[in-house]
Structure 1
């Protein structure tokens, strides 16, 4: 049976608060009049009114014993009846009153017609959705819409499960029947355990689930072998045409949680369909991983060549110094000869100097050697590092179906030429391809002249084309068929026909014109106005000046000093806050919010484990604090085993379920008045923090900025101090790619419209997409002088800020591609594509992609307006610093919470790595909520004792207090300790906000 807590099926709160009683259960005059017209006795009056208000609240008639006593007391009070008047009717009265209420409210009794109605709707929804709770919600919505009384939850659950089972079984049968004998054998062999060497020749279930290794040569070969094994089945997509993509993803996620023994217990059609979906997902992901490895291998070859160039420079440093000394002697001789006007003596002196240093021929040889390495051209050195990777790179590229995403297919044609000549051993190849896309440095290496005709140097050509192919993958100019991250992103966008009716409404919502010409004119007007205002401000306020060297200088914002009253207030509050363990905190939050209701089997059934709440709390604590299942079990006093924790994590918890639990905590936190002292909720900051992970996985990467191997947890933190969303990305990933995703994926009640970030958020395309999405991007920029300020037109000049401008806006480019940019933005808003998918392709220059250039041009305009405001507005710079400091404080707080295993994530699977960070955010959010509760209660107590507390002092505090929290010792979950209700602490005395 599905857990009712995971559905929208209405039910009573066990202890409704006075506000809820007043709003939901107070009868109107018309209702009182109606009830009095249908019954004469006091008992009948109360009973009919209780049933009426209960039905209005729930949509069905609950059993009398399920109605909270508080509701009955409230209605008795509203009707001015004595406590002795009983509220429980007889069965006959209930039957009569039900009919009266249905007629009064115009509601139909649930019958065969209603059953057929929701059966039809749910059968359609089951083609897309799979979780029973989601299907139950669809049925409830339809019944309410059609004015039907809701049936009992068990009745609804049985019907939904029956329909879902019928739809799924039909899909399983269709999919299984479409398999050939060879394909059936392939899928069946996935579950066969082989102990001998033949295991390497056949795909297995573990192979399908296996994460990629690091992007070393051996890791790339292993991944290539895996892909070859998977593709011996053929492309699995063709066999899944009858199943929607969302359903395929769900089946694949479910299959991923099962082991071989569990698969054996499933009937054959369903088993094969689940395996096919898992295989299809593995094929897609492996293509993504292969492209990532290809890009990383080319980058590694490039970096090795750069490093080798530097080593050669250092090696020839002595010879360079000797040549410079020789040149100095020649120049000195020239100076003396100029004074004496004796050229013959000068010639003899020069020859003597040259002979002294080995002669002209030796010096010329040294000069040639040094000249070869005394530039930034590392390209000639790449072959040395490419040679060992050559075979693997060719194999990788051949296995992928690579296409161009633009009309310019020169790189793809050159790639085909290189592949066709892979086994040639000749030094030169005929110059039969277009190489206009390569740079002059590459052309000097690739193109040679033999007997007056141009030929191609085969080895250098291979490196050159692979080098450019990696760049094409990164910019999106090349795509891989059947890939997710590197597919043709245009296929994910809404069609122009779908966009057309949405543009006007969206533009009206955001606040700019709905056609290209007016949009450009509106933006030009805003830009001109901002520039003129800032020019006037800079005439009076000398925050921005030009130094003697002509460089712009911005005065540093003085930091605000901490008031001594704040430290005193914090110490008083801390004294009143009780000591708690993290497990106690998780238990308290469970009592308040029942956040563990989101966890459970992917099938949607009730968990078949004893005390599931306790198990989920142990699992969350074990992974969220990085203890792991083994250490968690050792310190639990025998209450849980390591296998139980790992099994619960694998079968009952997903990243989406953890996000749902976090959302509940954020929404509860947002109800408190104390966080309003810290922020408005309209601002957020994005920043990354490094977490160490093992080297042998694709996410792990050495990064000079952070030092060591690891991955980046990229957090979006509200100005109210609580994290809204977290991504886990590789160190080498451009962080700004994910800067907007967090806001769009955040579904909590806190919805910021202003986003602060560090220097990585200064990219032009990021500014452009943010602007079109209605998000104010305000990053903290260190080297702002290095960014390009553009002016509105060539005929505009300014008195005080003129030296800043280095270019002019290309308005025609923005106007020409306005419709294409709006198509991208509307697709993002529709959930068809995430900003990171596009920004990953827009983060570097593409000569082919005019859409990139349009976004870049729009971004320059928006960024220039922001920078002008930035240099002229001290309050803005202080605000940006303050909010970005919040996310840095949050990073430090996470380090404290994630105390196990010295903060190292020991999981190599990217999916599990992501879950570790989600668990951590869940624990951190629970601690923040508990701290807010305890701080609010302490503040209330202090004020009740006559303490005067000012809002400005509270604003300097934060919920990241840890001194009173115990992290170590025996870990025991005790859900029998019931904390005080949240409502006690939510509101602070109004006097605070008057001070």
Structure 2
């Protein structure tokens, strides 16, 4: 029996607040006058008003002993009747007459057969997708109130829900059995049989998870998926069955062990195992997709951590480069050795030039000797000394660079800083996926993927990566076999830079392209833009939407319920 507390069946609460009493159980002046006119005693007046206010609040008639004393006391005081007056009827016929007056005043009709028929029809329709008797009772209550029919007793609705649910479930299970071949039924019925000396059964393997959805368990999960898929076409068996019913039937089967399952009839047993097999197939695909998404998230996190470590190390390099630059600036500053040598070289050069002033290219050696008192060498020695001083100034700069490790070391440090100067962690991801590459390709072969929108660019890129996975070349073309350019607009600008090499136009850098594809595949699985066919957690959400024709039919009623204006076009539709 369903607990009444789990349903919306109207009943008095154990504790009624003063506000609730005032709002829901205060008779209006019109109701007081009406009750006085149609009754012949204070007891009948109180009984009629208590029945009226209770019905208005509850939607059904309560037995006199079910009405809380505080409600009776509140109504009695509201109409100023003595405390000795009790809500009693002179006879059963009087009580029935008063109930008919209440129904008439509340605009409700009493039609037991019609109410039971409506409730049963409603439950039968809803039982195709709901298995909880409380849910069936609640929906039936809603329809009865909408139809203006008095609600039957709770025991009547409870028994009806149990009967209807059993009948509908048996019809569904019979349909499941009818879609299976003899061989498929035989295969499922043998699952609870004990195999081996350890007393284990394949039914337990169907119930149990083969292991955590971790990368190391991929092979085990793959074998488990192949096994449950080999049990049969569960999609064909369960065609037209609501997913909630499949989950309920699978839960019922999972709650049994091999011994208790054999207590069921063979027909029911095979149908329950079929539902459990369907859930096992979904769960296996969920586990594989979850494993892939978790793995990619972990690898992306490691790539970001590596970039952070590089930035930390780069800070030391940057500080060293700044120190080196400071040293070079000191060399060429106005008081530095390079500037001193430059000034000295300029003075010596001027001294030599002054000695040779007014001489040109046509001057003879005799003219030069005459200018220098017959000695040519002093001027040239001064000029040579100036060049030497200038050379020594440059040498001081070169010596400083050598102390820093040389030009090549300095260039290498500069390149290292430039390579990761931004938040470009994408270039590092492929390094963390080297060992996982074969498994990731195998995983995308095992599960069937589908785009949930018209944009299938990620799956197209995945197909391109799979087409060029062997042999593993450094570069792959950026066009497919038909010459159509691969669309990578789904990727960020960072990714689009990483997967290209300016030295190889028309090609992708394979390792970066694969890393990008796997990263965005995990992202789209998480957001629902890519679905796993046969999965539950990663199913195509668009298939769960109502057809637009059904939405159009229900829309006017819904707009009325929520208090919105219904466009005239919808009424005509």
- Provide the residue aligned with 1:31 in structure 2: 35
- Provide the residue aligned with 1:207 in structure 2: 208
| Equivalent-residue separation in structure 2 for 1:86 and 1:103 (angstroms) | 16
Q: What displacement does 1:329 show?
A: 4.3
Deviations 1:489-539 (CA, angstroms, capped at 9, x unpaired): 555567777489679969x9899xx9xxxxxxxxxxxxxxxxxxxxxxxxx
Deviations 1:401-424 (CA, angstroms, capped at 9, x unpaired): 333455454332221122233342
Q: Cα gap change, 1:330/1:502 in structure 2, threshold over 3 Å: closer, same or farther?
A: farther
Pair 1:468 & 2:520 matched: yes
Q: What displacement does 1:297 show?
A: 1.9
| Equivalent-residue separation in structure 1 for 2:201 and 2:339 (angstroms) | 80
Higher relative contact order (CA 8 A, sep 6+): 1
Q: 2:299 aligns with which of 274, 284, 301?
A: 301
Q: 1:241 aligns with which of 223, 226, 239?
A: 239
Q: What displacement does 1:167 show?
A: 1.3
Alignment of 1:5-24 (within 5 A): 5-12=5-12, 23-24=24-25
TM superposition score normalised by structure 2: 0.68
For the 8 Å contact 2:47–2:89, the answer to whether it is kept is yes
Pair 1:173 & 2:171 matched: no
| Equivalent-residue separation in structure 2 for 1:318 and 1:160 (angstroms) | 75
Alignment of 1:526-675 (within 5 A): none
Q: CA RMSD in A?
A: 4.9
Q: What displacement does 1:186 show?
A: 5.6
For the 8 Å contact 1:110–1:150, the answer to whether it is kept is no
For the 8 Å contact 2:123–2:161, the answer to whether it is kept is yes
Deviations 1:430-462 (CA, angstroms, capped at 9, x unpaired): 443426535676566645589x77544443332
| Equivalent-residue separation in structure 2 for 1:504 and 1:206 (angstroms) | 41
Alignment of 1:694-733 (within 5 A): none
For the 8 Å contact 2:441–2:466, the answer to whether it is kept is yes
Pair 1:129 & 2:153 matched: no
Larger radius of gyration: 2
Q: Cα gap change, 1:316/1:193 in structure 2, threshold over 3 Å: closer, same or farther?
A: farther
Q: What displacement does 1:190 show?
A: 5.7
Pair 1:399 & 2:446 matched: yes
Aligned length, in residue pairs = 500
| Equivalent-residue separation in structure 2 for 1:35 and 1:133 (angstroms) | 39
Q: Cα gap change, 1:373/1:66 in structure 2, threshold over 3 Å: closer, same or farther?
A: closer
Q: What displacement does 1:97 show?
A: 4.2
For the 8 Å contact 1:309–1:373, the answer to whether it is kept is yes
Indicate the larger mover: 373-382 or 152-161. 373-382
For the 8 Å contact 1:2–1:132, the answer to whether it is kept is yes
| Equivalent-residue separation in structure 2 for 1:503 and 1:67 (angstroms) | 36
| Equivalent-residue separation in structure 2 for 1:432 and 1:299 (angstroms) | 29
Question: Helix, strand or coil: the match of 1:412?
Answer: helix
For the 8 Å contact 2:206–2:276, the answer to whether it is kept is no
| Equivalent-residue separation in structure 1 for 2:521 and 2:98 (angstroms) | 74
Q: What displacement does 1:240 show?
A: 2.7
Deviations 1:789-812 (CA, angstroms, capped at 9, x unpaired): xxxxxxxxxxxxxxxxxxxxxxxx
Pair 1:4 & 2:31 matched: no
> Which ranges of structure 2 fall in alignment gaps of 5 or more residues?
346-389, 481-485, 568-573
Q: Cα gap change, 1:122/1:345 in structure 2, threshold over 3 Å: closer, same or farther?
A: same
Pair 1:424 & 2:471 matched: yes
For the 8 Å contact 1:207–1:226, the answer to whether it is kept is no
For the 8 Å contact 2:7–2:138, the answer to whether it is kept is yes
Structure having the larger proportion of residues in strand:
1
Pair 1:344 & 2:391 matched: yes
Question: Helix, strand or coil: the match of 2:208?
Answer: helix
For the 8 Å contact 1:448–1:454, the answer to whether it is kept is no
For the 8 Å contact 2:207–2:276, the answer to whether it is kept is no
Structure having the larger proportion of residues in helix:
2
For the 8 Å contact 1:25–1:71, the answer to whether it is kept is no
Q: Cα gap change, 1:262/1:346 in structure 2, threshold over 3 Å: closer, same or farther?
A: farther
| Equivalent-residue separation in structure 1 for 2:430 and 2:273 (angstroms) | 42
Q: Cα gap change, 1:179/1:349 in structure 2, threshold over 3 Å: closer, same or farther?
A: same
For the 8 Å contact 1:285–1:483, the answer to whether it is kept is yes
Deviations 1:553-599 (CA, angstroms, capped at 9, x unpaired): xxxxxxxxxxxxxxxxxxxxxxxxxxxxxxxxxxxxxxxxxxxxxxx
Q: What displacement does 1:200 show?
A: 11
Question: Helix, strand or coil: the match of 2:136?
Answer: helix
Deviations 1:279-330 (CA, angstroms, capped at 9, x unpaired): 4445445545544432332232233234334545666777766665555444
| Equivalent-residue separation in structure 1 for 2:505 and 2:74 (angstroms) | 98
| Equivalent-residue separation in structure 2 for 1:368 and 1:85 (angstroms) | 97
Q: 1:94 aligns with which of 69, 92, 95?
A: 92
| Equivalent-residue separation in structure 1 for 2:64 and 2:493 (angstroms) | 85
For the 8 Å contact 1:46–1:79, the answer to whether it is kept is no
| Equivalent-residue separation in structure 2 for 1:376 and 1:53 (angstroms) | 70
Alignment of 1:587-986 (within 5 A): none
Alignment of 1:265-344 (within 5 A): 265-284=263-282, 286-311=284-309, 327-335=325-333, 336-338=337-339, 340=342, 344=391
| Equivalent-residue separation in structure 2 for 1:406 and 1:13 (angstroms) | 50
| Equivalent-residue separation in structure 1 for 2:54 and 2:317 (angstroms) | 94
Q: What displacement does 1:377 show?
A: 4.0
Deviations 1:375-398 (CA, angstroms, capped at 9, x unpaired): 654444433321222222222222
Q: Cα gap change, 1:360/1:174 in structure 2, threshold over 3 Å: closer, same or farther?
A: same
| Equivalent-residue separation in structure 1 for 2:453 and 2:53 (angstroms) | 63
Q: Cα gap change, 1:222/1:198 in structure 2, threshold over 3 Å: closer, same or farther?
A: farther
- Provide the residue aligned with 2:433 in structure 1: 386
Q: Cα gap change, 1:88/1:331 in structure 2, threshold over 3 Å: closer, same or farther?
A: same
| Equivalent-residue separation in structure 2 for 1:176 and 1:304 (angstroms) | 50
For the 8 Å contact 1:430–1:455, the answer to whether it is kept is yes
Question: Helix, strand or coil: the match of 1:388?
Answer: coil
| Equivalent-residue separation in structure 1 for 2:509 and 2:318 (angstroms) | 31
Alignment of 1:432-471 (within 5 A): 432-433=479-480, 434=486, 436-437=488-489, 442=495, 446-447=499-500, 454-471=506-523
Deviations 1:187-228 (CA, angstroms, capped at 9, x unpaired): 5466556677997998724325x7854xx5225555555544
- Provide the residue aligned with 2:163 in structure 1: 162
For the 8 Å contact 2:450–2:533, the answer to whether it is kept is yes
Question: Helix, strand or coil: the match of 1:424?
Answer: coil
Q: What displacement does 1:178 show?
A: 1.8
Q: Cα gap change, 1:15/1:33 in structure 2, threshold over 3 Å: closer, same or farther?
A: farther
> Which ranges of structure 1 fall in alignment gaps of 5 or more residues?
515-995
